[in-house]
Amino acid sequence: MAALPAPAVGKHTGTIFERPPSHRRPAVVAPCTVQRSPQETAVHPSLTTLLDELAAFGDAHDGDAANRATRMLNITPDTGAFLALLVKATGARRILEIGTSNAYSTLWLADAATATGGMVTTVELAPAKVAMARNNVARAGLQAVVDQREGDAGALLANLDDGAFDLLFLDSQRSAYLAWWPHIKRVLRAGGLLVVDNATSHAHEMAEFMDAVRGDAGFTVSLVPVGKGEFLAVKA
Ligand SMILES: C[S@@+](CC[C@H](N)C(=O)[O-])C[C@H]1O[C@@H](n2cnc3c(N)ncnc32)[C@H](O)[C@@H]1O
C-alpha cells in the first residue's frame, strides 16, 4: 500500500488538519548562492581577521572577568555592520563615540568613516582600555581617522561645540545618559543621528533616557532589533 504523504508542517488532530500560527510557520527563504557574514560585506576585507579576533577575545575575556569594569562589553558583530551601514547611508563624517572600551566598535565606525572621508572621536574613562584601544586602532592602520580621548564623557560633552557631530554612538555608563542628554542634543547637528546600544538588553536602565528622547519634539525615534537593541533618534 502506498504511504500517504506526511504533512510538511502543522499538527494533525483527528480529522482536522490544524495550520500552525503564522509566526511559527517556517520562513520562505529566497535562494542565495553566496552566504556572507556581516563583517565580509561591511568592512574592508583586511579588517575582518582583526574584528573576528577581537570579538572572540571579548567573549572569552568577559566570560572570565568577575569585575564588570574590566570587561570589554563589546557590541555584537551585526551591530558593527549596522553602524557601518548607518555611517555610509547618512554620509556621516564627524562621528562621536562615547565608550571606546578596546575599540571594537570604534574599528567598525572608523572603517566606514574612510568611505565618507570622516573621522571618529572616541572617549574612554579606563586607562587600561584606552591603551588596548590605541593598540587595536594601530593594528587596523586606522590612526589617521580615530581621535582617541581619555577621560570622562560628561566632561568632554560639556566642552564640545554646538552641532559638531553628524552621528553620535552612545555605549557607556547608562545611568549618566539622562544627565548627558542636553549636551548630546546640543552637539548633534540638525539632521544628525544618535544611536544608543543596549536599548533592549538593558531597556529598564535606559527607560527614563529613552522617554526623554521620545518626548522631545525635536527628535524622531526608532527602536531597531539588531544586536542588543539599537535606539535611533534623528534631530530635526
Ligand atoms: C559597553 S563598553 C563600550 C564598548 C565599546 N563601544 C565596544 O563595543 O567595543 C562601555 C565603556 O564605557 C566606559 N565608561 C564608563 N563610564 C564612562 C564615562 N563616564 N566616560 C567615558 N567612558 C566611560 C567603560 O569603561 C566601558 O569601557
Where would I find the H helices in 123-225? 127-140, 153-158, 177-187, 203-214
Mean pLDDT of the chain, nearest integer: 88
- Say which amino acid occupies 45: P
83 touches ligand 1 (CB under 6 Å): no
101 within ligand 1 shell (Cβ under 6 A) = yes
pLDDT at 40 over 60: no
Mean pLDDT over 89-100 rounds to 98
- Bridge partners (DSSP) listed for residue 122: 97, 148
pLDDT band for 6, please (50, 70, 90 cuts): very low
Is the separation of the CB atoms in 72 and 57 below 8 Å?
Answer: yes
Instruction: Give the model confidence (pLDDT) of 101-112 as tens digits.
Output: 999 999 999 999
Crossing angle for the helix pair 127-140 and 104-116, to the nearest 10 degrees: 40
Ligand 1 atom at minimal distance to the Cα of residue 103: 9
pLDDT higher than threshold 80 for residue 225: yes
pTM: 0.86
ipTM of the complex: 0.99
Q: Which of 172, 174, 201 to mutate for ligand 1's pocket (most ligand atoms within 8 Å of CB)? A: 172
pLDDT digits (tens, 9 = 90+) for 169-204: 999 999 999 999 999 999 999 999 999 999 999 999
Domain boundaries, the chain: 75-235
Residues with Cβ within 8 Å of 70's Cβ and at least 6 positions away in sequence, in order, are: 128
Q: Would you say the CB of residue 79 lies under 6 angstroms from ligand 1?
A: no
Ligand 1 centroid–CA 126 distance in Å is 8
Judging by beta carbons within 10 Å of its beta carbon (0-12, 13-18, 19+), is residue 20 exposed, middle or buried? exposed
pLDDT tens readout for residues 43-93:
888 899 999 999 999 999 999 888 888 999 999 999 999 999 999 999 999
Q: Whose CA is nearest to atom 7 of ligand 1?
A: 74
CATH superfamily of 75-235: Vaccinia Virus protein VP39 (3.40.50.150)
